[in-house]
Chain A
Amino acid sequence: MVIGAGVVGAACAFYAARAGLSVAVIDRGPVAGGTTGAGEGNLLLSDKQPGPELELAKVSALLWQELADELGAVFEYEPKGGLVVAADPAGQLALAAFAAKQRAAGVTAHEVTADRLAEYEPHLAPGLAGGFHYPEDAQVQPALAAAHLLRAAVRAGAALHLGERVTALLTGPGGAVRGVRTDRRELAAGAVVNAAGTWGGQIARLAGVELPVLPRRGFVLVTEPLPRVVRHKVYAADYVADVASGSAALQSSGVVEGTPSGTVLIGATRERVGFDRTVSAPALGRLARQAAALFPFLADVRVLRAYRGFRPYLPDHLPAIGADPRAPGLLHACGHEGAGIGLAPVTGLLIAEQLTGRRLSTADPVDTAPFRPDRFA
């Protein structure tokens, strides 16, 4: 029983159903109704420093490619590559040091000197000090990705219960989790997977365990449709520092990318303000300034809309993946912060492997110890 019909829950259901398990997915809302539907769909290696998250991301990047081959062009998979740019020579040096560490960990990164930036992005602001090109960065349309993974899971036999809220977890002998109670009925299950994203802490509490998932708000701006003027995912060097920051205050670094529909997405702010949905003028203003600093032509482009989402954030910025030793029968697959779309397939695969007790992929095995759900206890 997977709780959550976002992209992570969809991937868990997909790999579990394909491994022959009998699977059901339950969500209080529709498909992709939470953070998935508010994501930009980044599949990134470029922003990850060597360590456990990068190891996950490397496997996941391969899995996304496989999924795109298998399911077809239905979720707008684009292996378009990322371009990280530096405003000044010191920034370029910092990027180079970061890229060197990533290369040692198996990431492909090419230095792009200032004079060659225009070959990659003809409309970039003049005067940048240089950048790095990450050809393995890619993008999907996250809501479509979740919906089509779920559809494939359903074809493999999974059941889908939308608009049904989990109100309690059922327990069997010895306190093991054995299903869910909903606002309509009881559903028994051999195991329950908590893929409730930003709301994963609430599901954990139903089992009497603590998982400190907090919301980290982000705004994204969407422009009018344009011809393809931004080719890569382009962002400024300070993005990486923002992602890793633990600060609650508003942070933002321009991340600009085109989409197949012609709109340009401009992300992304990071703020810890709880579940406050109020539109924030300072946040939108800062995004706009940073986007215009990267691509001056954007200043005269019209922004059609903005949206916000709440990233599921854990204190060490790593997700919780796997069985919870404090609550037998309960597995967690949440807390991916801003990387949930990218890390969804590997998360689903790891969960399915734990559930079946066997390897389901030829990819290099990932050490799951850093993602143990009880590591904050």
Chain B
Amino acid sequence: MLSRSEIQSFLTEHPDFDDISNGMRSAARFPNKALLKETRKVVALARKFNKEVVIPHALELDRKKQEEHDYLPWEFVQKANEWGFFTMWIPRFFGGRGCSFHSMFYFIEEIASQCLAMANLIGVHYLGAGALFCAWNIRVCNEIFREVAEGEKHEAPCLITAATTEPGAGTDCEETELLDKGTLTCRATRVDGGYRINGSKIFISNGHLSTWHNVVCYEDPERPSETAMLCLVKTGADGFSFGRQENKMGQLACPASELIFRDCFVPDRYVSMNNLQMSGLRGGEKGKTREILSQFFSASRLGVAAFGVGAARGAYQKALRFALNTEVSGKLLINHQWAQNILAEMYKNVASSRLSYIEGADVNGIEGMLRPVYNKPLFYIFKYYPFHWMKPIVNRMLESSLTTRIFRKLQLEWMTEDQLNRNAGWGALAKFMATDAGMKNSHLALELMGQAGVRHDREAEKIFRDAKLLQIYEGTNQLNRQCLFESFIGRHYPQVRVYEHES
């Protein structure tokens, strides 16, 4: 038999057993029955929403956007708000409906399987929410999320964006090691009572439709990793305006916007993270920026993976429907052996990619950004405690700086390097695996459908246009491969260098 120390030693050999056993580890820790029950309900709800809202309007909306570039899909936003989707995954103590993030990824897959743009329109709101979460400023979270909840109650949708990308910096914004080499220009200058922001952001999904914008800016753009800060800017604020809606190939119902800041004043109240707030925490300024970026992308990339699975599944479903109903060379296409195997390949792409985002969600729930809500006792408290009865007390607690400090200690200081890497690695793996699958299946669907595949009214060509964006945003798939290499492979070998200039 092996001793404890021998077991430990063997299990930490590459590949570290903890890196490859997330599902088993989470099974032992998660409130599985409750999670399953909730996820089943959420998936059923997503399917009902697809049937009643998404499917009847997806093609029409895509066509309308091609005809009328500046059109904004407010009716859809209103519908999603009515159905409660903008508070569904906001914790109950912030006024939301408090569903688990596992159910969100399944939900995204469902909607994305029918329309990636509409799924993005809902999902990107949670990208904005994620940008709020990852700074762990509980007071700001409480204020903004409560406004989202009020917006739901009063039929005035309140959406949030995450504004990171700049004209000169795409990939550079998404990796701390590249940040200091990038051309970043969004500057925050300290003034009485807050900051003034100057600069612009591009490709911001949902920009024109959102109320609050999480803007990443830099007190010194020459030293971005040490001076990065996050602040909230509200639509309509002085000095803030929208530029053009980008002219995209696909995902048309979800506008990508340019945000322009000219001496835009942000009061201290809406600075959710800066060096001053983070002082006293271990790791230094650069370390905190790295940790926050890492936690953010570890979670957000799982969402993009779920989009990818949705795209792969949508393409598979369109191809299957075509094969079942179309006669080719004297018999139904579904009865040609080669077509059966293409469909099997497509099914495999969907199923295997889904496993990757579930594995990623598991590790995130055990030891990533999402862990506070997956702890069994906390899960049940967050799910069933009557927060609304005790709103004044809860609010006072959430607005206390001590609460923010505790969360930051827990989330930003007590996370080990191994845990950070595991989360980042699985986020990256799921992202590029699933989005590559989305693109692969889109290609296969169009090949199988021939002439019908290239027609807008047969739905498959839209998936092809929509899916391509998934390989680009939230870090190109090349960057995500680097992230996986660094997280799972490179970290075991001291001689490894990444992002080193080679010529």
Bound together:
no
Task: Give B residues with C-beta under 8 Å from A.
Answer: none
